[in-house]
Amino acid sequence: MESEDKINILIVDDLPEKLLALETILEELGENVVKANSGVEALRLVLAADFAVILLDVNMPGMTGFETAALIRQRRKSAHTPIIFITAFADEMHTAQGYSMGAVDYILSPIVPEILRSKVRVFVDLYRMTQQVQRQADERVALAREQAARAAAEEATRRSTFLAEASKVLSSSLDYEATLRGLPRLPVPYLADVSAISLVDERGRLRHTELAWSDSRHGTCTVSVAAPEELHPRLIEAIHRVLESGKLEYRADLPPGLSLLASQRQSLEPSPRFGLHTLVLLPLLARERALGVLALGMGPSGRRYTPSDLALAEDLAARAASALDNARLYRNVQEANRHKNEFLSMLAHELRNPLAPIRNAIQLLRLNQSQDSDTQALHDMIDRQVHQLVRLVDDLLDLSRITRGKIHLKMETVDVTSVIARAVETNRPILDARKHQLTIALAPAPLKARGDPVRLAQVIGNLLNNAAKYTEEGGQIHLGAECRRDTIRIGVRDNGVGIPSEMLSSIFELFTQVDRSLDRSQGGLGIGLTLVHKIVEMHGGRVEAFSEGPNRGSEFVVHLPALHDDESVAMPPQETAASCKLPRRRVLIVDDNADAARSLGMLMEMGGHEARLCFDGQQGLFEAERFQPEVVLLDIGLPGLDGFEVARRLRAMNLAPRPLLVALTGYGQAEDVHRSLEAGFDHHLVKPADPHILTGLLTSPPPGNGVA
């Protein structure tokens, strides 16, 4: 037998020879015999170890056996240890005293070895069995604790997984309707047999409910309850209580058969017809506002909610409220953005309509050669302001298109020098009007880039326009371009008002302006530089702003990827000699804006053409049949029949010769151009149309053989 399996036996006697005799007798038991020669030493040993039995001499000097036994019994751990008294004499009084001290036996000397060993063996075996039972009990307790810990860990893992999956679902989309449909599915069946999301409007009125429940036949499914009347009246009352209190409500005493839906309204199939015994309602709170209530019910499963279940439900409700609020905010932003784009489009249309007759009138006055210098200067001034208004309208629409991803670059290999020349020509009027001195320094080698020449010219033009506006009259503006390794660097520098250092990082943000004082004479909407930044980014480049501070000028530098020398440069088309000759055309003008129609008609007649005017679509169709026009300048936004329908009917009339159809309108979105081509238009011009472009269309050969 190994030493660690031996049972301790304590023998106490003040005589060494008696201790030796007792030890010899008990050796045959094969246990661990411990000796003590006094009561004090016995107490010390009892404190240090456990014993199956104690053999205690009664008559010892100092502390007697009875006194030692009394002290052993006072210790909780040894209070029930068997004690056998050993003495040479005993009477009834001593025997009674010994048993009163908790003795299990009383043995007289001389000792019979077999009897002593037999009695001690009984207590040793009893101790060993007790220890075995204790070990088994401890093992069972340890096993139970381990199983409980494992179950708790598994439950914690399931809860963490549930919350992680819920968070993944809630954050997967900002679509409000998708978020709302997905929310009631999350708690089923882990937290509920049936769940419902009931939303309220800003006045706290129920307006929508989504339900989900556990259905063993059909699986988990969802049904939308549009009318609050379909909910059970008790549920509606509870929802309003939770909305008012803003706190969780837990009901485990529901009447038998209670369902989330009113019994008389359960016409939806499939539907949760089972009764609930437990219901939890949690407020959906976001930014101190109640969005609605999350309801969780237990029915067929028979489960009950634990405190940890309720804590988990509250966590889910908080996440659900946040997800709903984020989706709602995103939807509102998208809606506001849509309204903004619609407003910008309509604003551009309404601004372009009155600009058209103004530009036509200016062109008519210019064609009148009997003007003095002052009158001509006034005409030039009006023309510059119209040009500025047209630029602002175009910038508004370009920004709207870019933010919606509707703008598409027509990429080609371009000569940056030609693009710069076009930008300078476009902005020459404002530069001359403010008497600026423009110096241009271009690299002698060809500057080639891949890009949209029109948009790149717009970038450089906006920078020149910005420099002209923010530089006092007679200022200095420098435009330079060079190639540095694989990058083309285009810089526009001025000696104007400069840029404060704190604004350099935000100068390209929308509606940012350096000078916001009331006496500014060179306005603007603060979107030109935003367009520059966005268009350059779309070309794979970047733009930077530099300034040493107010009144110390500024510089804007555009960096574009350069092309290799073996790339070909797209040259602008050259005018042919035939294009300079102006044939006489029959022109039908259809526009409900009388000033626009009359001024355009006068412009056509001054150019030698025959013009007829109509102010609505029906009249235009009638006149087209009589007049047989070669060119039709047709507005789209007409009362009654719009321009698209008029164009389709004109094409169906099979007029001979087939007229050139030109859409002349304030609508300039890409979808408007697409609809024009589908309706049968040959060209789409945005008001106010450039008179030179109109003249170019009139000089082109008319379409023949029914082909545009």
Give the model confidence (pLDDT) of 277-306 as tens digits: 889 999 999 988 889 999 998 887 788 888
Please report the pLDDT score of residue 1 as a whole number: 41
Instruction: Walk me through the domains of the chain, giving residue ranges and CATH numbers.
Output: 3-135 (3.40.50.2300), 173-305 (3.30.450), 349-404+578-708 (3.40.50.2300), 408-561 (3.30.565.10)
Q: Which of 229-238, 374-383, 531-540 has the lowest mean pLDDT?
A: 374-383
Residue 509, CB half-sphere, CA atoms under 13 Å: how many?
6
Please report the pLDDT score of residue 13 as a whole number: 92
pLDDT above 50 for 694: yes
* C-alpha torsion sign, points 215, 216, 220, 221: negative
Look at residues 551, 546, 557 and name the one whose alpha carbon lies nearest to residue 487. 557
Query: Greater confidence, 101 or 502?
Result: 502
Residue 223, CB half-sphere, CA atoms under 13 Å: how many?
20
Please report the pLDDT score of residue 708 as a whole number: 34
pLDDT > 70: percent of the chain: 80
How many C-beta atoms surround the C-beta of residue 224 within 10 A? Answer: 12
pLDDT above 80 for 370: no
Look at residues 518, 547, 545, 550 and name the one whose alpha carbon lies nearest to residue 532. 545
Query: Greater confidence, 411 or 707?
Result: 411
Q: How far apart are CA 199 and CA 626, in angstroms?
A: 63
Please report the pLDDT score of residue 299 as a whole number: 84
**pTM given for the model:** 0.48
For the ranges 181-190, 332-341, 479-488, the maximum mean pLDDT occurs at: 479-488
Q: How far apart are CA 672 and CA 397, in angstroms?
A: 13
Q: Give tens-digit pLDDT for 95-147.
A: 677 677 667 787 887 888 998 898 899 989 999 898 888 888 888 988 888 88
Q: Which of 53-57, 191-195, 385-389 has the lowest mean pLDDT?
A: 385-389
SS3 324: helix
CB contact set of 706 (below 8 Å; sequence gap of 6+): 654, 658
pLDDT confidence bin for 3, thresholds 50/70/90: very low
Q: Which structure tokens are listed for 588?
A: 């039908």
The values of phi and psi at residue 54, to 5°, are -120, 125
Please report the pLDDT score of residue 471 as a whole number: 92
Tokens 């279940």 — which residue? Answer: 309
What is the longest distance spanned by two Cα atoms in the chain?
A: 159
CB contact set of 364 (below 8 Å; sequence gap of 6+): 599, 602, 603, 606
pLDDT above 80 for 400: no
pLDDT > 90: percent of the chain: 25
* Geometric angle at alpha carbon 311, from 305 and 314, rounded to 5°: 105
Please report the pLDDT score of residue 9 as a whole number: 93
Q: Give tens-digit pLDDT for 17-32.
A: 999 989 999 998 999 9
Average pLDDT of the chain, as a whole number: 81
pLDDT confidence bin for 608, thresholds 50/70/90: confident
User: Looking at this protein, which amino acid is placed at residue 706?
Assistant: G
Query: Greater confidence, 584 or 690?
Result: 584
Q: Give tens-digit pLDDT for 615-672.
A: 999 999 999 999 999 999 999 888 889 999 999 999 999 888 889 999 988 777 777 8
